[in-house]
Amino acid sequence: MIDLPYIFVDTSAWYALLDKSDANHHAAVNFKDSLDHPMVTSNYIADEVITLARNRLGHKVAVEIGQKIWNESIANLIPVTPNDEKKAWAIFVKYSDKSFSFTDCTSFVLMERVGITEVFAFDDHFTQYGTFIVLPLQKI
């Protein structure tokens, strides 16, 4: 369990922070600037963010965000464990009616494992899973 009230950061939030043309950019920046507790993310989210940034914003932006995530200057990085992967696979298989990615499922399991209840995200997957408080409370 994590002692401090951390917030988990999803790919959708990282991308909104990076891309000034993203519809959620201003909400993401304002929310991040208002946070009074630390952010965490996973190695699976890091992979998605770096790849998405590379494909949409270029190599330089991908390297910049990747370095900040890997050296943990913007968030604590929690690795997804092999046991997390097994549990995530079970969730992925179970929810055929949802559009959860496997990475979403690893995020659900990791958050449950370490006791994080809040997620900074702009997609509805965490709300659909039903266990977490999705922030900011605006557009999801």
Are 61 and 53 in contact by the 8 Å Cβ rule? The answer is yes
Residue 24 tokens, joined? 């959620």
| Contact by Cβ (8 Å): 83, 93 | no
Distance between CA atoms of 140 and 129, rounded to whole angstroms? 14
Per-residue tokens: 21: 């043309």
Q: What is the pLDDT of residue 140?
A: 39
Average pLDDT over residues 15-44: 96
Residue 126 has pLDDT above 90, yes or no: yes
Q: What is the pLDDT of residues 82-117, one digit of tens each?
A: 999 999 999 999 999 999 999 999 999 999 999 999
What is the residue-averaged pLDDT of the chain? 94
The length of the chain, given as a count of residues: 140
Say what the pLDDT of residue 79 is.
Answer: 98
Mean pLDDT throughout 2-16?
Answer: 88
Distance CA 56, CA 115 (A): 33
Domains and CATH numbers, the chain: 7-135 (3.40.50.1010)
Q: Which residues pair with 91 in a beta bridge?
A: none
- Asked if residue 1 has pLDDT above 80, the reply is no
Residue 105 burial (CB < 10 Å; 0-12/13-18/19+)? Answer: buried
* Section 122-133 average pLDDT: 92
